[in-house]
Structure 1
Amino acid sequence: MPVAQAQEQPLAHQGVLDLKTVDFTQQCVELAGEWKWYWHQLRLPNQPESTFEYTSLPQLWAHSTWQQKKLPGQGVATYSLRVLLPSRSVPLSLEVPDLNTAYRLFINGREAAHSGNPTTSSETTQPRWSTQLISLPATGDTITLLLQLANFQHAKGGVTKSMILGESGRMASKLALEQAMSVFLTGFVLMSGLFFLGLFAFSFMDRPMLYYGLFCLTYSYRLIGTEPYALHNLLPQIPWSISVRLEYISLYLAIALFVIYTQSLYPKDTHPRIIKAMTGLCLAFAVTVLVLPPIYFTRLMDPFLGLMVIYIGYAVYVYWKAFRKRRPGARFSLASTGLLLTVFSLILSQYFGLTSPLMIELFVGYLGFFFLQSLVLAFRFAYALNEARYTEKQFLANMSHEIRTPLNAILGFSEMLEAAPLNGEQKESLHYIRTAGKNLLTIVNDILDIAKIEAGMLPLESIPFSLNLLVDSIRTMILPVATDKSLSLVVETDPTLPAVVLGDPTRLTQILLNLLSNAIKFTKYGQVTARIDKVAETADSVRVRFRVQDTGIGMAPDILPHIFDRFRQANDFTTRYYGGTGLGLSIVKSLAEMQGGWVQVSSVPDQGSCFTLEIPYKVTTDVQEPTVGLSMEPLSADGQQVRILVVEDNLINQKLALQVLKRLGYLTQIAENGQQALDYLQTGKYDVVLMDIQMPVMDGYTATRQIRTTLQSNVPIIAMTAHALASEREQCLQAGMNDFIPKPFQIEELQRVMRKYTPSTGKSPVTEVARAPIKPVAGFSIEPLLRSVDNDVAFAAELLDLFLQQTPAELAQIEQAQSERNIAAIGSLIHTQKVPIRTFGLTQLSQLIDTLEKQIAAQKDAAEIDALINQYVSMLKNELPTMQVALASLQKDIVTD
């Protein structure tokens, strides 16, 4: 490909090109202009003169005339040019481009180069494509060029590109650079194709990776198999009939694959019929290459190039649509296709003889196109991974609720049964139930911890705590387990440890309990030792080492490097015999590293293991804050009793919140919707707002935004909602809320959250009423309600009575809305009942509400939703008589008291 020309190019006139004034150290010259030529002749040097004419080169035969007659694209011809050179101080070379089929070049009467074998018949002519660099004679101020050209196999006969004359070193470097860029670009595209095909082979999921990989492999031939024909120089033995078919079919198939790739990348932005038509045309062109001789299928290149421009233009349109709709990676797709359109514009201009682009321009354009397309797939991969993680997080959040709810019921009822008179076999069975339930709860918690750690959503506290007190507490918790296995538990603490440090006692407790529980589990006899030492200390920090050692089964050396991997245990026997998921040690390692520490293990089979952990802590002189109890009266900043605004539309929830907050010592005001809350906040002062999410008139999100923007208020807002998904938590925080508490809330949980936003003193203790023991009623448990109201039997009876009064009317409204196909009204009604049903311990109904809400939100089939509504109404009606009995029992106990 020609280099850039700084000076005006001289042209040949009547077979003579005068270059006497050209400085070849500064420029190269195209041998263009009027050549002497002989049609239908393959002349040899020194052959007697015959009929000739002058013709412009480069020029196709189909665009030329001989004796005023138009010529065909096939035949033979000889061209002659005399070049006048300046006195030479540098050696010169001549670059001869490919000339479609076969040629032979003579310089000063001697054969200097040939490509293929030109003859006067199609049977004996052997075409070949190559770009050659020929050294000119070192002496003489005139050279005579004689070019024989024969074409019987290609649609385009004649000279399509000019020969270039220049300084030998520059010409050699230029050709070597062009071929090197071709080889480099081919390798880059080939490896990209193999890489994405490999990624697809591992998953068989992302179809764009498959099509893009195939596109890269197909198009890589064109990068090395066309001008400057680096492949033909490397492998000259490739037959022309094969190479020309590969050149054409690789283009057709590559465009077809790119069309399919575009459709698979953004299926919603393409038209299926257009894609099928484009692909079908490309494949039809490819078939012609297989079934027709080159003389015919090469004639189809011009119309295909026109189609190719349309194809690329359509791709730009598709990517523009995708970009406007914010599809994943669309901006990279749009930029890459813009580059591709530029590259093909340059190639087409060269193909039709309009311009001669530089190889470096094509190289940069191709490199940018393939790089940006790789970014598209990489971005899609990362986007899909993030979506999968988000889905996993949502799934785990949902599953935590679905599993914990029945599991808590199992553990709660089994705990109640322990107080009942049972025989030995029943007590043993109950013990196994509680043990299995606790193990399952531990597994669920471990899985959730792993998910939180991966998502970076596991917060670490930095609060004052005593290492000695924490270790004593852990020893008290773990001692009964060791005693049951007749193991000796030894806990040793360095007496020089600081009295109080700043850190996260909860996570340290989790780490030590995990290590000690494992040590006891895998030890049949002997002892488990825990040692806490001070390793290093500065003025404001201390590094603490925790060592847990046992005399258990130990581990083989090849297991130790992987023992902290997720779901990894020593061997299959360990999993079958001892159980567990293999998540505990992975959590230990993650928690230690999150706190700036590390953990390692040493072990000897049948002798035991030793886990060593180090964590740095800051030293503080602050004493630990005592645990806040219900006897602490909350006060506002001005010493007045704290005022709480409860924004809640459900009557039962209002009464529950009023009673609980009253028992905690708060003054409370009820707002039935967000608009009413705004009105109260404009006229009065409140210290905390408890905000429901779904309400009529104005929901919680809108009300919060209005409080933050219109009212410019920074009052703490705590969300209350029956949903506990991570996404809803994030939405609450984004709307401007400070915290989040799920409904139904426990009194201790509400107190914990409230204490974060309200100060307190111990001056006015709240006296507790005597609590009568409540026996569980068959088919219905009142325990969850009693826990919510701090065992206030009278208030529990009031809430239950209110629910029994309003529920029949609400069920009738649900049935009426069902007959009217008013799904939105049904969703609103069941959501209103959700919190009371959870408060009353109706677990199955609560789960059914969750399922119904998901089905309604997903706009599932009406018949499926109807079946769930019927099931819900029927189950709730069946529970009402049992609840009436429970209410009567509560009222009787109140009278007795």
Structure 2
Amino acid sequence: MPYATNKSKPLLSVQAIILVSLALTLFLVNLLPAQAGGQLPPVAKKGVLDLRHVNFAQQEVDLTGEWNVYWKQLRTPGEPALPVDYTTFPHLWSSVTGQKSGLSSQGFATYALTILLPPRSAPLMLEIPDQYTAYRLFVNGEELAHDGNPAATPAATIPYWSTQLIRLPTSGDTLQLLLQIANFQHAKGGSAKAIRIGEVKRMEVDLATDWALDLLLTGCIFMTGMFFLGLFGFSRTDRPMLYFGLFCLLYSYRIIGTDQYVLHSLMPSLPWVLTIRLEYSSLYLAIAVFVIYTQYLYPKDTDKRVTTAMVWVCLAFAATVVVLPTVWFTRLMDPFLVLMVTYIGYALYVYWIAVRRKRPGARYTLMSTGLLLVVFSLILGQYFGLATPVKTALFFGYIGFFFLQSLVLLFRFDFALNEARLTEKQFLANMSHEIRTPLNAVLGFSNLLETTALTPEQKEFNGYIGTAGKNLLTIVNDILDIAKIESGMMPLETIPFSIPSLVDSIRTMLHAAASDKKIALTAEVDPTIPPVLLGDPTRLTQILLNLMSNAIKFTKQGSVQVRVEKSKETADSVRVRFIVQDTGIGMAADVLPHIFERFRQANDSTTRQYGGTGLGLSIVKSLAQLQGGSANVTSVPGEGSCFTVEIPYRIAKNTADQSLVTRVMTWGAEGRALRVLVAEDNLMNQKLALGVLNRLGHTAHIAENGQQAIEYLETNTYDLVLMDIQMPIMDGYAATRHIRTVLHSQVPIIAMTAHALASEREQCLQAGMNDFLSKPFQPSELQQLLRKYIASAPLPDEQPEPAPACSAPSSAFSMEPLMKAVDGDVSFALELLEVFLEQTPLQLAQIRQALASTDLPTIGRIIHAQKVAIKMFGLDEAVLQIKALESLLPAKVPVSEVAAVVHQYLYTVEAELPAIQSVADTMMSQPPTD
């Protein structure tokens, strides 16, 4: 859900509030003292702990209170009695007061306690946690447990930490405990955790549960770290994944290497000197990595000075673990813990800011860090002897923290994936625009040339231009179709059509290509197929054209046969099988399973010899599946291939009323002449639109931008508007919205743009446009689109025509590249030269003025308008400079870098103007030719 920035809406979701409340509840519950039956737990007094009224079947008891203590002595059972002193147990030696000869943190002592037990029906057990740093326990004069080796000298003392369970004698109602503790290797001496007593089954189950939770949590954290490290390894771009993975691996040691010390119990041969260094360094390094992770996660919300200082502090602490003795570097833990809690508070502030600024996944980081703060508070409470946290509370706190942090990264991954998809769509849209704009002119003027008197050679050349343009258009359409299919935006129609008529039209269309190769092209349609079906004839045409074109392309001799059969029929539907069989080169058996994959062809030599993108068959299968059908292939090398497509169709009712007339493109108006306003900023496209509309018998006026189109509509009446999308001053979307909401005009508006993605179509319709015509368009497509609006259009009136800002005479044009074929149409080439020479100096002056005022968007708009002409005139160096500028301008680089390229571009174009002017003068001086 989006986050609010005003006071009327909550900043955090209800789930976040519940989670924080739960965390605070866990924190408070863990701080409350354990009670049984509403009574405070029993404590020892004067070295005696009375447990005769305790029901061990319902509770365990901590052996806390006043113990006998013998300072600087390691007493053994049976030694003569000495004067007794009492002290609170557990405690750290540095906290003992009131002793004339109190211990420092290094030394040794013996503690004694007498326990009075009730009659027992079940055996009892002691749980002994780690002591600082070695202990030995005697019960009723017998040694039952030890951790390391306590001694009176540093050399003889062997430290070790683990949690142990020991069974107590089953007889007797009194226990005499004698506990030796020695420490010479740690900054702390004494005991920080209480010994517990309880029934064997309860104690064993509790410890096994604690160990299982630790092992499970360690495995979860470790695998999470490995997962994100692996995910980062695939792309090596999202660095937060790297650092979070490292943080998980480092912190996983903290779970089994501290508190219960599960690792020490599983591997008792591990030396304490090694494990203590791992315990401390893993914390320092984990915090350092977490700091870096936060910096990379939200770099704009963190103060790099704070994070850099914190990282260096953590590394300095880690260095002390390596170079200092244990008794020295363990003294540094307390100040580091203060620093760590301070940084967690700072991280909470950073995540709060990130939430307010609506960063991806910020609410998850805020919630997870709040949980981490609660968990660390519980751990610190245990560390300083304030409370003993419930193990399950810590477990779920950790799980919640790592789960929410994982959600952050997965959210970012999904966000980046969506951004990549959006970038891909934008790239396809831009590519569509850049290719379709010049292609629109190529195909459009080629069609216009067909209406003029041409020599046979000119007709041949014009045919080549049209064929090449259509091939290029096919490639562009294939790529866009793949994008539409992937995004789920491929529209499917359900309209009446006739399969025999459609197949015959495609056969006629491809007959010339087959005849040129002397290949027999035949088509047979099962006469029992219903004459009129309901489906998408456009997609079926696309499928059959792909298959039949491929069959002709890969067949050198023989035939291409198309068969249409009825596979299955019910009362209201029929499944139609389309078979395209050829006698071409065929394919090997190992190629067939992959032939419908995109960019896959039989082999590399196929691509070199026959061309193609390898997208056609992928589109065929995708289109068949979209319509509920299937596509398959069989083939034998050297004998040919057989493609089979099956598609289900509904049977149309009342077929006599269905219109199945195929309209043929004819020049000239049909019934009414329309007054058309063309909003288009590209001069070449203006000329093309004027030429096509005039030949269709309509009157066309030009507006160079959306604002000018609005001005024309305010003073004149038009039957139709052809609206380009990308225009200066006001684009097509804004102009359409103004026409609908301000002018309240319902004039039909047809979007006319080189963008062809489905999302672009939706935007046009949402803006208020009536229809969509993608460039390049065929005159027949425009004619059929206009025909939809002729019936409702009024008769032409006698209103005066507006004076267009940039109009052009409607005459014959040549769209052959000027530098390669200027002799094709001298007058048209000369006209283009004159337009270029007239506009370019003014545009270059505008670029200089924009550069002086650092108006980079204006520079981008002008060079975009000049790009097509620059390419047509073969100014390759200027084209490269335009590409460089188009990459620099969106990147928001310093103006100085842009200015250098702009100056080079201006110099290049201006240097070419005299040569272009010379060519124009020469052409003007030459007499016209017949």
- TM-score relative to the length of structure 1: 0.83
- 1:508-540 deviations in whole A, cap 9, x for unaligned? 222222222333344444433322111122333
Q: Tell whether 2:383 aligns with 1:347.
A: no
**Aligned match of 2:413 in 378, 381, 384?**
381
Q: Which residue of 2 aligns with 1:217?
A: 249
Question: How big is the shift at 1:38?
Answer: 1.3
- The amino acid that maps onto 2:351 is Y
Alpha-carbon distance in structure 1 between the residues aligned to 2:446 and 2:695: 30
CA change 1:144–1:673 in 2 (3 A) is same
Question: How big is the shift at 1:254?
Answer: 1.0
**Aligned match of 2:323 in 266, 276, 291?**
291
Matches within 5 A, 1:701-720: 701-706=733-738, 717-719=749-751
CA change 1:738–1:327 in 2 (3 A) is farther
- The amino acid that maps onto 1:498 is P
**Aligned match of 1:159 in 191, 200, 204?**
191
Q: Is the 8 A contact 1:500 1:623 kept in 2?
A: no
**Aligned match of 2:587 in 555, 560, 568?**
555
Between 1:711-720 and 1:564-573, the stretch displaced more is: 711-720
**5+ long unaligned stretches in structure 2:** 1-29, 797-809
Alpha-carbon distance in structure 2 between the residues aligned to 1:609 and 1:655: 46
> In structure 2, the residue corresponding to 1:570 is in which secondary structure?
coil
Between 1:297-306 and 1:733-742, the stretch displaced more is: 733-742
Alpha-carbon distance in structure 1 between the residues aligned to 2:161 and 2:692: 91
Q: Which residue of 1 aligns with 2:20?
A: none
Alpha-carbon distance in structure 2 between the residues aligned to 1:885 and 1:760: 51
- The amino acid that maps onto 2:560 is V
Q: Which residue of 2 aligns with 1:868?
A: 905
Q: Is the 8 A contact 1:414 1:433 kept in 2?
A: yes
> In structure 1, the residue corresponding to 2:131 is in which secondary structure?
coil
Question: How big is the shift at 1:284?
Answer: 1.0
Question: How big is the shift at 1:72?
Answer: 0.7
Q: Which residue of 2 aligns with 1:202?
A: 234
Q: Tell whether 2:271 aligns with 1:245.
A: no
> In structure 1, the residue corresponding to 2:485 is in which secondary structure?
helix
- 1:559-588 deviations in whole A, cap 9, x for unaligned? 322222222233344444444433222221
Matches within 5 A, 1:134-533: 134-403=166-435, 442-533=474-565
- The amino acid that maps onto 2:403 is F
> In structure 2, the residue corresponding to 1:82 is in which secondary structure?
strand
Alpha-carbon distance in structure 1 between the residues aligned to 2:700 and 2:588: 63
CA change 1:568–1:733 in 2 (3 A) is same
Alpha-carbon distance in structure 1 between the residues aligned to 2:600 and 2:684: 49
Q: Is the 8 A contact 1:259 1:279 kept in 2?
A: yes
Q: Is the 8 A contact 2:106 2:189 kept in 1?
A: yes
Question: How big is the shift at 1:24?
Answer: 2.4
> In structure 1, the residue corresponding to 2:194 is in which secondary structure?
coil
CA change 1:875–1:627 in 2 (3 A) is farther
Question: How big is the shift at 1:73?
Answer: 0.8
Q: Which residue of 1 aligns with 2:52?
A: 20
Question: How big is the shift at 1:682?
Answer: 9.2
Alpha-carbon distance in structure 2 between the residues aligned to 1:776 and 1:645: 24
Question: How big is the shift at 1:273?
Answer: 2.6
> In structure 1, the residue corresponding to 2:300 is in which secondary structure?
helix
Alpha-carbon distance in structure 2 between the residues aligned to 1:529 and 1:508: 17
Q: Is the 8 A contact 1:673 1:695 kept in 2?
A: yes
Matches within 5 A, 1:795-814: 807=839, 810-811=842-843, 813-814=845-846
- The amino acid that maps onto 2:321 is V
> In structure 2, the residue corresponding to 1:242 is in which secondary structure?
helix
Q: Is the 8 A contact 1:12 1:34 kept in 2?
A: yes
- The amino acid that maps onto 1:350 is Q
Q: Which residue of 1 aligns with 2:135?
A: 103
Alpha-carbon distance in structure 1 between the residues aligned to 2:650 and 2:583: 33
- 1:3-41 deviations in whole A, cap 9, x for unaligned? 964443222211122222222233222221111111111
- The amino acid that maps onto 1:541 is S
**5+ long unaligned stretches in structure 1:** 636-640, 765-770, 787-792
CA change 1:775–1:811 in 2 (3 A) is closer
> In structure 1, the residue corresponding to 2:385 is in which secondary structure?
coil
Q: Which residue of 2 aligns with 1:120?
A: 152
Q: Is the 8 A contact 2:837 2:913 kept in 1?
A: no
**Aligned match of 1:623 in 642, 650, 659?**
659
Question: How big is the shift at 1:75?
Answer: 1.1
Between 1:406-415 and 1:330-339, the stretch displaced more is: 406-415
Q: Which residue of 1 aligns with 2:6?
A: none
Between 1:774-783 and 1:94-103, the stretch displaced more is: 774-783
Alpha-carbon distance in structure 2 between the residues aligned to 1:139 and 1:699: 96
- 1:44-63 deviations in whole A, cap 9, x for unaligned? 22322123311112211100
With a CA cutoff of 8 Å and minimum separation of 6, indicate the structure with the bigger relative contact order.
Answer: 2
Alpha-carbon distance in structure 1 between the residues aligned to 2:629 and 2:269: 65
Alpha-carbon distance in structure 2 between the residues aligned to 1:880 and 1:740: 40
Alpha-carbon distance in structure 1 between the residues aligned to 2:434 and 2:729: 31
Equivalent residue pairs, number? 869
**RMSD of aligned Cα (Å):** 4.7
Q: Is the 8 A contact 1:406 1:843 kept in 2?
A: no
Question: How big is the shift at 1:626?
Answer: 4.7
Q: Which residue of 2 aligns with 1:789?
A: none
Alpha-carbon distance in structure 2 between the residues aligned to 1:551 and 1:412: 37
Matches within 5 A, 1:836-851: none
CA change 1:113–1:852 in 2 (3 A) is closer
Question: How big is the shift at 1:590?
Answer: 1.3
Q: Is the 8 A contact 2:150 2:159 kept in 1?
A: yes
Question: How big is the shift at 1:711?
Answer: 7.3
Alpha-carbon distance in structure 2 between the residues aligned to 1:9 and 1:594: 72
Alpha-carbon distance in structure 2 between the residues aligned to 1:669 and 1:551: 54
Q: Is the 8 A contact 1:186 1:223 kept in 2?
A: yes
Q: Is the 8 A contact 1:674 1:698 kept in 2?
A: yes
Alpha-carbon distance in structure 1 between the residues aligned to 2:495 and 2:414: 37
CA change 1:671–1:178 in 2 (3 A) is same
CA change 1:194–1:503 in 2 (3 A) is same
- TM-score relative to the length of structure 2: 0.81
CA change 1:878–1:856 in 2 (3 A) is farther
Between 1:510-519 and 1:703-712, the stretch displaced more is: 703-712
- 1:746-767 deviations in whole A, cap 9, x for unaligned? 7555445445666569999xxx
Alpha-carbon distance in structure 2 between the residues aligned to 1:289 and 1:650: 71
Question: How big is the shift at 1:680?
Answer: 8.8
Question: How big is the shift at 1:345?
Answer: 1.7
Alpha-carbon distance in structure 2 between the residues aligned to 1:490 and 1:744: 32
Question: How big is the shift at 1:247?
Answer: 0.7
Q: Which residue of 1 aligns with 2:162?
A: 130
CA change 1:747–1:53 in 2 (3 A) is same
Question: How big is the shift at 1:127?
Answer: 1.3
Q: Which residue of 2 aligns with 1:638?
A: none
Q: Is the 8 A contact 1:95 1:164 kept in 2?
A: yes
Question: How big is the shift at 1:683?
Answer: 10
> In structure 1, the residue corresponding to 2:394 is in which secondary structure?
helix
Question: How big is the shift at 1:304?
Answer: 0.9
- The amino acid that maps onto 2:201 is G
> In structure 1, the residue corresponding to 2:66 is in which secondary structure?
strand
Q: Which residue of 1 aligns with 2:627?
A: 595
Question: How big is the shift at 1:279?
Answer: 1.2
